[in-house]
Structures are given as C-alpha cells and as structure tokens.
Structure 1
C-alpha cells in the first residue's frame, strides 16, 4: 500500500514539474568527439537548450575548449595545455579517437564555440583553469558582443566565481559540486553550509553531481533561499525523472535528444492517465 502511495506521489510530482533545460555535456558527446565544434553543432541539431564546454587558458593567453589539462586522452600527441600555444594545440586532431569519420576535428577556441550558439540558446562555460583566466574571458565576451544572458559560468573553483561576478554581476554563475567524499562514499554537506558558501561567493546556485542522496527537502531549501539547482551528468531515464520531480532547472547529459524524448514521452503517458 505504502509503495503504491509513494509511486502515486512521484507520478503526480512529474505531472506538474516542468521538463528541465537539457544541457549537452561537452556537446552531443555520446555520438561526437567531446568539446569539438562537431559535437556542439550536433547538440544544436538534436534540440539541446544549451551546450556545456570545458575551457582552459593556453600559454599565450588564448582560451580553448578541452576538458583535461593535457591532450593525451583525446589527441595522438601529449601536450600540456597551459604550457602550449594556441598554434601548437591547433595542430592536433581531437576527433579521430572517437571514430575515423570525425578525423580532422581541432581543439576549438572559446570564440568559435560561442559562434555556434543559436538565438535564445545558452552555453554553460566550465572554467577548468584558475581565476587567472577570468580577465581574458571577460575581454573575449566583450569582443564577441554576445548577450550575457546566453552565457552561464560554472566552476569548482570558488575564486573563479568571485572574480567573474566582479566583471559581470548579472551573469548567471553556478558552483559545481561533486559533494564531499568520505571513504569513497558521497556525503551531502549541510544545507546551512551550502547556502553560506553560495552567499559568500555571490553564486546564483549550485550545479551538483546526480546522486540520489539529493532529496526534495534539500533542493527546496536551495530554491527557498533564492538560488537555483542544476545537476549533471545524467544519461538514463530513471535518474532524469527523479531530478525532474525535484524541480531542478537543468540536466546535463551526453544524450540531449534521447533524454528529452524520454522525458516528453513519460509526461505524455502520465497526462493520459
């Protein structure tokens, strides 16, 4: 009986909860090589609300899109991004590791990635470098003349968030968190501690790893305090439905089209009941 009641409550919460924005993790990275223009363009074709990319500062103070601190995993030559120039990095092929059909993909610049964004869509810019990147990023945003409402900054480094807000007080900036680990297990910090941190660094919300340790009470407390709650990286229907029921603002996924279809189909089924 109680199980049926719980299922009923869950279904009811889904019927009234909006489908969160679908953010393409490193582009449509299940199908295309991550953090490449091909992956971002495919994400837009697949109907993503936003793309998410990882950005680092090069030796010559250019901003490039790559997750790791080195090119070892995605290129055939191992360079340290921070110790390499843009010209050196652009010589690398970062597509062929995924499949031969992606051969020739290069590490894109921040400007090239931003240029793919359609009107009304957004980019989640994950800063992988230190706060040293911020002045250069701020200048590139000025040069691009892009609406700052289309740019969201996410970072694990609290100082990055502090510095970004000095340049763009109205830009959305979220603190990334994989939550604390203790003996290989995740542990959610107290709500009080999370809220204190968000206020201290002037963040607009939290972008937390998808774990079932996060519950409705926790997300509600974040929302009630005036902050947003986003989550990453979800590639299965059950987890996505759970976080949708919590009322999160966005879900980051490697499979933007597939996940949206699953959520829309589930809503259609519920509304027919």
Structure 2
C-alpha cells in the first residue's frame, strides 16, 4: 500500500510548505499530495483554500494576487502560533514556510535521492477554468513528466477538469475524487475503467457499500484522509492501493515499514 503525504507531513508542519514536504520525504513517504491554484500572474502555487485567511492570516484571494505578493506572506506560523513565546523553539526558516510554487515542489522531488510520486489536485471552481490544467500539463512537460513513465497523477473532484487534463496528456493517470457517496452512481457511467477512484474515508465509513461496490468492480482506490489505525485497517480490508494521510510517518509504522 502506497503512503501519500497529504499536503506534506501536515499534521506536524504547516500544510503545503516546503518544510512539510521535506519532512514527508525524510520519514519515507512514497508520494506527496498537493493542491494547485493559479496566481494572478499565471504561477501554479500549492494552496488549498481560495483565500488566505486560514493559512496566511490574510484576506487576499489567491487568484487575485501575484506571486510576488504571495511571497511576502508567512504560510507557516499559524500551525504553531505560540512558538514566538517559546525561547527553546527553533527559528522558522522563511524558505521553508513561504508560499510554495508547484515548480519548486517538482524540482525538489526530481532532485531527491529516491523515486517519489506526486498526486496533484486541481481546485475548482476557479476564475481561470481550464487554464489550470493547461498550465499544469505545460509544467509537467518541462520536467518530462507528462508521459507514461511520469511519477505524477492528476486528481480532481471535477470530472470536467480531469477530462481536460486527459485530453492534454492522455498517458497520465487520472484520479476521480468522490466527495459524497451518492455522487458515485452519477459518475460511474462516465469515469473510464482505468481511472483511479478517490473516495474519502468518512464516506467509506458512513456508506460501507461504496467501498464494497468499488472493490467488487475492481476499481483502484486512493483514499483520503487516513490518519488512524482503525481507518487504515478499513482501507486494507478493501484492498485500497494508496492512503493519503496527514501522518505519513504513523501510516508507515502501522504498515510495518519503519
């Protein structure tokens, strides 16, 4: 079973920061998961929310800000708000806690000393529509990662977005994320058999029939967000291929890989 670091080692370090991803790599995560949005000047940045109130304490909206503006913000301090009062707490490295571009994350993975996969989610709805997928595939091509041997898979709750990405890079793996169990009957007829399905662990627990149905059909499953031993066991029983976790170190330990 593949262990995927959800927004990095985000239980311990602020999500989507370079520090969180480096920690995930160091503990041995098989893959890294990130969300991407387009800045006003066309840069793909790793940010989950459309606005920055939660992660940077700013009222700005990602799509309306240029990269230079985003680079002035602190994306790490919110995780440990009292650290400045702790004399023994290490100083936060601005390079590890600022806004992270997808290009920097890809370069980090490319330069790492072992193979690492990437699960990249495009966020929708967005003012830029299909431009997000276009820029994503263009960036992957620059790294030589838009073909069959790519370590990257593209994820989205938007089926339309995945169709766009598939048209642009038909050899890339696609992951159809499923937010609610009752969405699957609608998606099932239009999602190709070779696409991966990404249900949430909460839906698998609330609606056990969803996981059982996917398993019977032989659908590959990547499940989010799995942070406990009990939830990991549910995934194992269903034959889940990958678990996406805020706690990659814990998942690896529970799987006996540490």
Taking structure 2 as the reference length, the TM-score comes to 0.84
Q: What per-residue deviation string (whole Å, max 9, x for no partner) do you get for residues 127-156 of structure 1?
A: 114322111111111222346521011001
Query: 1:195·1:222 contact (CA, 8 Å) conserved in 2?
Result: no
What's the counterpart of residue 76 of structure 2? 95
1:258 aligns with 2:253: no
Query: 1:111·1:144 contact (CA, 8 Å) conserved in 2?
Result: no
Which of 204, 208, 214 aligns to 1:214? It is 208
Query: 1:32·1:102 contact (CA, 8 Å) conserved in 2?
Result: no
What's the counterpart of residue 247 of structure 1? 239
Provide closer, same or farther for how the CA distance between residues 141 and 189 of structure 1 changes in structure 2, counting only shifts above 3 A: closer
Bigger mean CA offset, 134-143 vs 151-160: 134-143
**Rounded Cα–Cα distance in structure 2 between residues aligned with 1:242 and 1:88:** 43
- 2:50 match: secondary structure: coil
The structure with more radius of gyration? 1
What's the counterpart of residue 177 of structure 2? 176
How far residue 217 of structure 1 moved from its aligned partner, in angstroms, is 3.1
Which of 123, 127, 132 aligns to 2:122? It is 127
Equivalent positions of 1:16-35 (< 5 A) are 20-35=1-16
How far residue 258 of structure 1 moved from its aligned partner, in angstroms, is 0.9
Gaps of 5+ in 2: 84-90
**Rounded Cα–Cα distance in structure 2 between residues aligned with 1:82 and 1:106:** 17
**Rounded Cα–Cα distance in structure 1 between residues aligned with 2:72 and 2:242:** 35
**Rounded Cα–Cα distance in structure 2 between residues aligned with 1:217 and 1:146:** 33
How far residue 71 of structure 1 moved from its aligned partner, in angstroms, is 0.9
Equivalent positions of 1:65-144 (< 5 A) are 65-99=46-80, 100=83, 101-102=91-92, 104=94, 105-117=97-109, 118=112, 119-129=114-124, 130-144=129-143
- 2:199 match: secondary structure: strand
**Rounded Cα–Cα distance in structure 2 between residues aligned with 1:162 and 1:230:** 19
Which contiguous aligned blocks of 4+ residues in structure 1 show a shift greater than 4 angstroms?
none
How far residue 246 of structure 1 moved from its aligned partner, in angstroms, is 0.8
Query: 1:95·1:103 contact (CA, 8 Å) conserved in 2?
Result: no
How far residue 111 of structure 1 moved from its aligned partner, in angstroms, is 0.6
- 2:177 match: secondary structure: strand
Count of residues in Structure 1 that have an aligned counterpart in Structure 2: 233
Query: 1:188·1:214 contact (CA, 8 Å) conserved in 2?
Result: no
Provide closer, same or farther for how the CA distance between residues 102 and 67 of structure 1 changes in structure 2, counting only shifts above 3 A: farther
What's the counterpart of residue 17 of structure 1? none
Equivalent positions of 1:197-212 (< 5 A) are 197-199=190-192, 204-210=195-201, 211-212=204-205
Q: Alpha carbon RMSD of aligned pairs, Å?
A: 1.9
Equivalent positions of 1:146-157 (< 5 A) are 146=145, 148=147, 149-157=150-158
Taking structure 1 as the reference length, the TM-score comes to 0.80
- 1:73 match: secondary structure: helix
